[in-house]
């Protein structure tokens, strides 16, 4: 770590020397090809400055600049300025940003104003999105005058292939197949609402502790269509009969039963 820091100090010193050399070059006082070339070099050195500064942890303290701003003593980064780049080590754990939460009780006029962070990373084929926002007003339909307020929330979504995992303050939700436009929306039911026959078709394992508290849910991933066809041929047809929605007719029978 120490060697890395002194290396950075040396690199920055060399860079600053080059920058002041270029900026003070007499050709910059005249117009012409050479002046343009030096201006270009200065721009490129500025780019290098930006990348070197990314390695700086800004732990050397801060100094006041002539413009009254506060800059890092080592790399010269102005405090509070948002950096355009993120530097990540190739090996080991990568860290981008801090864990953020909603930070205001106010309701903002729109999502953009309420957003604290909405960032996505594609990480070795998996997509992670973090969306942290304060409460904001939103219109359910574009033309309706009905405003509804969306609660402040921290939402984390992980996507791997077709499967999406949604995590917010109240929900941990897994979607195995996304709802397509124009498709009938999926049904929803609590486990206890479903008949055993239906439950047998859902490969869900619920884990609970000795006190009867839920500690985990395991979903066995659905078999891809190609392989499923084979299994269908082998399985008995009775087991694969479609699940019927809770029959309202049955209920009316019960109600009607007392009359007869
Ligand atoms: Zn610094």
Note the pLDDT tens digit of each residue in 129-159.
999 999 999 987 766 677 889 999 999 999 9
Neighbours of 53 (CB within 10 A): 20
> For the segment 13-50, what is each residue's pLDDT rounded down to a tens digit?
999 999 999 999 998 888 899 999 999 999 999 999 99
Tokens linked to 250: 């049955």
Band of residue 243 on the pLDDT scale cut at 50, 70, 90: low
Place of tokens 């102005």: 78
CA 4 to ligand 1 centroid distance, Å: 14
CA 68 to ligand 1 centroid distance, Å: 17
CA 102 to ligand 1 centroid distance, Å: 28
CA 191 to ligand 1 centroid distance, Å: 55
Query: What's the rounded Cα separation, in Å, for the pair 146 and 136?
Result: 14
Question: In the prediction, which pLDDT does 75 show?
Answer: 92
Name residue 137's beta-bridge partners. 149
Pairing of strands 172-175, 204-208: unpaired
Q: Does 260 score more than 50 pLDDT?
A: no
For the chain, report the end-to-end CA distance as a whole number of angstroms.
87
Query: What's the rounded Cα separation, in Å, for the pair 6 and 13?
Result: 10
Place of tokens 């949604």: 166
């Amino acid at each position: 770590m120490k060697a890395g820091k002194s290396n950075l100090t040396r690199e920055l010193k060399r860079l600053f020397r080059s920058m002041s050399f270029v900026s003070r070059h007499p050709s910059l006082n005249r117009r012409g090809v050479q002046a343009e070339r030096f201006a270009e070099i200065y721009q490129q050195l500025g780019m290098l400055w930006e990348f070197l500064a990314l390695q700086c942890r800004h732990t050397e303290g801060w100094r006041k600049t002539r413009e009254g701003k506060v800059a890092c003593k080592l790399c010269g980064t102005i405090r509070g300025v948002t950096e355009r780049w993120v530097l990540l080590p190739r090996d080991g754990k990568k860290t981008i940003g801090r864990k953020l939460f909603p930070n205001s009780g106010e309701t903002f006029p729109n999502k953009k104003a309420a957003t604290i962070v909405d960032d996505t990373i594609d990480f070795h084929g998996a997509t992670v999105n973090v969306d942290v926002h304060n409460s904001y007003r939103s219109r359910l339909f574009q033309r309706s005058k009905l405003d509804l307020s969306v609660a402040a929330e921290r939402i984390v979504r992980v996507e791997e292939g077709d499967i999406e995992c949604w995590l917010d303050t109240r929900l941990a939700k897994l979607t195995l197949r996304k709802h397509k436009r124009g498709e009938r929306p999926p049904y929803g039911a609590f486990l206890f609402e479903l008949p055993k026959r239906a439950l047998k078709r859902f490969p869900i394992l619920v884990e609970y502790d000795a006190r009867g508290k839920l500690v985990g849910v395991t979903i066995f991933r659905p078999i891809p269509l190609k392989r499923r066809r084979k299994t269908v041929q082998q399985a008995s047809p009775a087991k694969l009969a479609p699940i019927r929605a809770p029959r309202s007719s049955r209920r009316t029978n019960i109600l009607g039963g007392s009359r007869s």
